Amino acid sequence: MRFPFAKVQFRSDGELHDPAERQRALDMVRAPGVTDVLLLSHGWNNDMAAAERLYEKLAESLDEVRRPPSMRLAVIGVLWPSVRWAEPGLLAGGGLGADDGQALLRAEIEETVEDAEIATALQALVPDLHSPGAQASFLDLLRRSLPAPADGDEEPPPSLLTDGDPEAAFDLAAQPLPLGLLPEAPGGAAGDALGGGTAGGAAPGLSGGAGGGAGGGLNGGSGAGSGGGASGGLGGGAGGGAGLPSFGDVLHAGRLLLNTTTYFTMKERAGTVGSVGVARLMDDLAAQAPGVRRHLAGHSFGARLVTAAAQRHAPVHSVSLLQAAFSHYALATDYSGTKDGLFRNVLSPGRLAGPMVITHTVNDRAVGIAYAIISRLAQQNASSVGGPDDSYGGIGRNGALRTPQVSAPPDELLPTTGEYDFRAGRVYNLRSDDFIHDHGSVTGREVANAMMQAMALSHRDG
């Protein structure tokens, strides 16, 4: 690590895993000469070593960009138990038969369902998932894992997932989503955007395509050859045609519903760890090292985590949201005529002592796919799925919307030589199409340059 570094692990309820880690972090920040501390949070990844590699790469880039001579930065890596949406090793080549589909669904249950009793019951239902009774039992078990939505949540779980008819949920999840409604991969067809792989270190799509190449749909889909046709759409199954879903389609639908449940579970957990654990750590830093500036940065669900921390702790001297996997209305004012975003108060006067920097790009197929699925289950208008006009859309895809503090005109992520005119209390949606090519590519020097200039503002202003 290029900077003084300490890791602090939290449990799913936000409590410390080891109080000694907290003390080591506080001692590091209190050391003579430290002027700034950056708290970093990873996203959906249950491998702590991978999270630490993310921090190492980002710190390396931060060390390579220009920073104020007066800045002495320390870094705290937040580690929390996030569940992977889909395991890259489970991505299959070619079409899946029923036996392979069952094995893949069972493996994903084992990977993502933390309650052993529920996992065992779900796996026992897999062979009979074509039957309405098994579908009802499967969805009922998933519903036990769904957290209750927070008051004022701008993206609660769709009613079809929480209390809708199970057959209708499976039928809808098994239907393909037209490929043209989702972003193209750089240099590729739209089918590549549906989670058919994890090139470039991207986090996998919700259930990783089984279609092989461009035809691989998000939720399996056996689209043959390059391009795959409509059968490779969201939830697209082996047949992809009209009529009743095949058993393969039903298995793909089961994977989609499973992973969508995981999305809402991890979303809630990120908020808890941020508002309970990380906010307390920020309070401790303010009390024990009051002269040290406090900065937050998070990737994916980690962006929600640090935003939840900033909602409970103030002031924060900068916030960087890197390909954030939460609602584009989370910071909004009056986004639906009567409602503000859940984290609207983060931008209240006096709470944000520096800028908030947001990277977003149409290249983020992981966030785009997640919201396409949720939008489909919410039965939204297909023509706007996951985009800025959809009720369900992610900050990592669209930036923060209906947020008065957003700088206008829209900004872009600049090369490493670029200079930003950041202001305290303002939000900067940095369109990052030229430099961020997938959900996971957030450790480059262009990203680090924007983060460093956001952190440096407090040095320039005082």
15: tokens are 């409590």
CB atoms within 10 A of CB 327: 27
Helix (H, G, I), strand (E, B) or coil at 452: helix
Among 446, 358, 361, 438, residue whose Cα is nearest residue 405: 358
Phi, psi of 142 (to 5 degrees): -65, -40
Which of 264-269's residues contact partners 24+ apart within 8 Å by CB, and which partners? Answer: 264/146, 264/147, 264/157, 265/83, 265/145, 265/146, 265/147, 266/44, 266/82, 266/83, 266/301, 267/301, 267/304, 267/325, 267/326, 268/147, 268/150, 269/12, 269/80, 269/81, 269/82
- The string of pLDDT tens digits covering residues 158-182 is 999 999 999 999 999 888 755 444 5
Domains and CATH numbers, the chain: 5-83+266-362+370-377+385-461 (3.40.50), 89-263 (no CATH)
Q: Give the separation between CA 154 and CA 263, rounded to whole angstroms.
A: 15
Burial 76-88 (b: 16+ CB within 10 A, else e): bbbbbebbbbbbe
Give the C-alpha distances (Å, rounded to integers) separating 462 from 195, 282, 293, 353, 412: 46, 21, 11, 12, 26
Please tell me the pTM assigned to this model.
0.85
The three-class DSSP label of residue 208 is coil
CA distances from residue 5 to 222, 311, 324 in whole angstroms, order as listed: 45, 25, 24
Mean pLDDT, 10 residues at a time, the chain of 462 residues: 94 97 98 98 84 96 97 98 57 45 93 94 97 98 90 85 95 71 45 32 34 31 32 35 62 92 93 98 98 98 98 98 95 86 94 98 88 80 70 92 89 96 97 96 98 95 61
Q: What is the per-residue pLDDT for 177?
A: 58
Taking the C-alpha atoms of residue 92 and residue 154, their distance in angstroms, rounded to an integer, is: 35
pLDDT at residue 96, as a whole number: 45
The answer to whether 427 touches 341, Cβ cutoff 8 Å, is no
Q: In 18-158, where does DSSP find H-type helix?
A: 19-30, 48-64, 98-112, 116-125, 132-145
Question: Alpha-carbon distance 310 to 314, whole Å?
Answer: 6
Side-chain-side CA neighbours of 412 within 13 Å: the count stands at 8
Torsion of CA 191, 188, 374, 335, to 10 degrees: -150
CA-to-CA distance for 289 and 283, rounded, in angstroms? 10
Q: Which two tokens stand for residue 189?
A: 């067809």
pLDDT, residue 461, reads 65
To which residue do tokens 């039928």 refer? 171
Which residue is associated with the tokens 């004022």?
Answer: 152
